[in-house]
A and B are shown apart, each in its own frame.
Chain A
Amino acid sequence: MFGVMKVVNLAHGDLAVVAGYIGVGVIAVTHMPVLWSIPVVVAAMAIVGYILQRSVIQSALSRGELTTLIVTFGLSIIIENGLQQFFTANSRGLGVGDTFITDSFLIGSQIIIPYLNLAIFIIAVVVLLGLQQYLSFSRYGRLIRAVADDREAAQLSGADYRHVFGIAAAIAFGTVAIAGMFQGMITTISPTLGTDTILLFAFASVVIGGLGSLWGTLLGGVILGVAQAVGAQFNPSYETLAGYGVFLLVLVVRPQGLISQGATS
């Protein structure tokens, strides 16, 4: 969303949590398997994204880029309090069932990799590949890049940039829905998790990787994750500290991010 519309979405983490809760709701009602519920949640969040973009975020955008910061911050507060109201402050998990969630394999004798985490990483790569293909070759992908380049010139070519923004937001919300579902599978989700954890780590990943770069963000996420795991090896309380240490180091050494000027997202 930043790459296309210059919107810094402070509610991004909360939206992941909302997606997780929608997943909880969908599974409770339909009793479908967790993995099958993902496409349903993604579609629901994409629709929410389009509507939210065309209504609240667009009208904030037309009042200046800074306004979107305040509006998405407001959205974040509304979402967190709304979730606490309806789902209580208790953590919820999305049970994957069977032993998939608990099984793991070893690399060497030290590194333990759970199958679930591996599956999530593979899906993340597949999603990124899909996004890249979509942005590169589809009609709307092309329009999204064109609008990001020059909104007015795109209008002169007949493109309604508000609709294109809506599509971009739908993609962003759909992607964050996947993240939220996996968050619920790996650990648990709770109403304030979005800002407390997800948003900050997501921003750190994006900045480490390079703003607007799809693969940079993945790389940033991996580096952040590895740094945290290594830090935790020394002392469990170093986990978060190690992550932010790397974050600061990147800001000092390579403030533009590891991969700058990549594909826009």
Chain B
Amino acid sequence: MSGRADSGAPLLEVRDLVVHHGQLRALSGISLTVYPGEVYALIGANGAGKSTLLRTIAGLHHPTSGSIAYDGKDVTGLRPEKRATAGIVMVPEGRRLFPSLSLEENLKVGATYARKGPWNIAAVYELFPWMKDRRGQRTAQMSGGEQQSVAIGRALVANPRMLLLDELSLGLAPVIVQRIYAMLPQILASGITVLLVEQDVSQALRVATHLQCLLEGHTTLEGTPAEVNREQVEAAYFGVSDGSHALWPGLTPLSRACSPEAFTRCSRAACP
């Protein structure tokens, strides 16, 4: 872990974040620290709180308690649009393009309040060459993979420092997912730090420099992909643990291959 701290001051620091959706406690004291240049992956099953965490960092949910610091400044109370102009830009789950706008208009909206930086619409067309010929098209007519690329482009033209990617692989064929993740190095090369949520664990392990596993609003595992093995990830993902929620708990390997029902039972037991 000392290698991470060498890379300077953290870009994003989340402390003891608690978030409620009405009565439901979605996050129970999550902390994470993202250093510049990292690809930080949040993994976990459905309902673990990954997307809630990302949306709270983007400013779309208000935490009950806890704090979010970005670039050394507290942004916990900042409105989402202010965070975007400060450099925290999210590609939301489900793409969320503007359906009545053309591809280029979608990018132009993203560029309206852009920070200064290397990304502009021309640079996005260079990253995704197919877009240039179809810039006048409405995005509703495009395939899921194409829409996801437009959503990424819309975020890039804002010149983020901290890019939040929420479930890029959702509803896309594996080959398309591979293609979309293939442009990650170019994004990183332009100095952008990435925090991503991914349900596809193998995909997350492939691209991440650091990963954190959430389960029912708690952190169950944290480390670099090299530090964790498959059994630990599986246990953290499905909640088969001793219930301590400590990092590196004495996890039992999942060679028994629990059925989904057993996983649910296990995780209930783990999180009273």
Residues of A whose CB lies within 8 Å of any CB of B are: 139, 142-143, 145-146, 148-150, 152-161, 264
Name the prevailing secondary structure of the A interface residues: helix
User: Out of B59, B96, B109, B113, which one reaches A142, CB within 8 Å?
Assistant: B109
| Contact of A156 with B84 in the complex, beta carbons under 8 Å | yes
| Contact of A159 with B109 in the complex, beta carbons under 8 Å | yes
User: Out of B79, B89, B92, B105, which one reaches A160, CB within 8 Å?
Assistant: B79
Known contacts A142-B105, A146-B109; A157/B154 CB under 8 A: yes
Question: How distant is A22 from chain B, measured CB to nearest CB, in Å?
Answer: 33
B112 close to A (CB within 8 Å): yes
Total A-B pairs, Cβ < 8 A: 76
B60 close to A (CB within 8 Å): yes
B126 close to A (CB within 8 Å): no
| Contact of B113 with A145 in the complex, beta carbons under 8 Å | no
| Contact of B105 with A155 in the complex, beta carbons under 8 Å | no
User: Out of A148, A149, A155, A264, which one reaches B81, CB within 8 Å?
Assistant: A155
| Contact of A159 with B112 in the complex, beta carbons under 8 Å | yes
| Contact of B98 with A145 in the complex, beta carbons under 8 Å | yes
User: Out of B80, B85, B90, B101, which one reaches A149, CB within 8 Å?
Assistant: B101
| Contact of B101 with A156 in the complex, beta carbons under 8 Å | no
* B: contact size bracket: 20 to 34
Residues of A within 8 A of B113 (CB): 157-159
Interface string of B59-81 (1 = CB under 8 A from A): 11000000000000000000111
| Contact of A149 with B100 in the complex, beta carbons under 8 Å | yes
Residues of B whose CB lies within 8 Å of any CB of A are: 58-60, 79-81, 84-85, 89-90, 92, 96-101, 105-106, 108-110, 112-114, 154-155, 158
CB pairs A–B below 8 angstroms (7 shown): A148-B100, A149-B98, A150-B97, A153-B92, A153-B97, A154-B98, A159-B112
Known contacts A142-B105, A152-B60, A153-B92; A158/B112 CB under 8 A: yes
| Contact of B100 with A155 in the complex, beta carbons under 8 Å | no
Question: How distant is A121 from chain B, measured CB to nearest CB, in Å?
Answer: 29
Chain B residue at minimal CB-CB distance from A140: B112
| Cα distance A158–B89 in the bound complex, in angstroms | 8
Residues of B within 8 A of A143 (CB): 109, 112
| Contact of A145 with B100 in the complex, beta carbons under 8 Å | yes
| Contact of B98 with A139 in the complex, beta carbons under 8 Å | no
Residues of B within 8 A of A154 (CB): 98, 109
Residues of A within 8 A of B59 (CB): 155
| Contact of B99 with A149 in the complex, beta carbons under 8 Å | yes
Residues of A within 8 A of B60 (CB): 152, 155-156
Chain A residue at minimal CB-CB distance from B98: A149
Question: How distant is B119 from chain A, measured CB to nearest CB, in Å?
Answer: 13
Question: How distant is B183 from chain A, measured CB to nearest CB, in Å?
Answer: 20
Residues of A within 8 A of B89 (CB): 156-157
